[in-house]
Homo-oligomer: A and B are copies of this chain.
Amino acid sequence: MSLKVYVDRLSQPSRALLIFCKLNGIEFEEVPIDLSKGQHRSPEYEEVNPMKQVPAIVHGTFKLFESHAILRYLASAFPGVADHWYPSDLQKRAKVECVLDWHHSNLRRGSVGYIFNTVLAPAFGLPLNPQVAAEGKKILSASLATIDTYWLQKDGKFLLGNSQPSLADLSLVCEIMQLEFLDEKDRDSILSPHKNVLKWIDDVKSATAPHFDEIHTTLFKIKEMFEKQRSAGASS
């Protein structure tokens, strides 16, 4: 049964999904949907995901959106996926679900609110909103502190004290990678207080190599472009 994966590599949940598929040997066709060109609003894509967001999948004739729902589905439907991603033990699984659910109104909300309204909005023809950015930054910093002192407080390298990563590690670290779009000083001031988070990002990168870096290449190209724009702005 064919699997089509509709993604924009600048979208953090899209990247998590691509890395997950590659790591687990899931065969798929990547269908690029360029958000900056408005391809998510085309009538063809609306047939795939009426919410006009990425990522989405079509597996045979089965259509699905919402990245966490997709990750859970793939982890369950493809027998080759190692148990640590989405544990079959009910209590271990429930803890992973807890982080995945927590993510929506915390790290993700803060990260999207801040980064979109500090850097990305103009690329989508929208104005920056400093008030939403400020509120986002507050939620983002509080979320990073929670990860640093609570979700990563135990012995293991990964969230919940696990020795191997779960869907939650992948989803959350891909979200944090959006901070690469920020000015370096700003990014450092947000991330550097959280030493456990910094170590964990490296651990997730190592555990998902070489796919993590490969899938993030596009992001680093855009980061470079932003940096050049900033330098040009500073010297003009």
Contact = CB atoms under 8 A, between A and B. Distances in A.
A105 B107 CA distance: 12
Nearest to A146: B51
A72 B94 contact: yes
A150 B146 CA distance: 35
A95 interface: yes
A87 to B, nearest CB: 12
B76 A98 contact: no
Contacts of A101: 66-69, 104
A105 B13 CA distance: 14
Interface of A: 50-51, 62, 64-70, 72-73, 76-77, 90-91, 93-95, 97-98, 100-102, 104-105, 108-109, 131, 146, 150
16 contacts: A51-B102, A62-B91, A62-B94, A64-B98, A65-B98, A66-B97, A68-B97, A69-B95, A69-B98, A69-B101, A72-B94, A73-B91, A73-B97, A101-B104, A105-B108, A131-B131
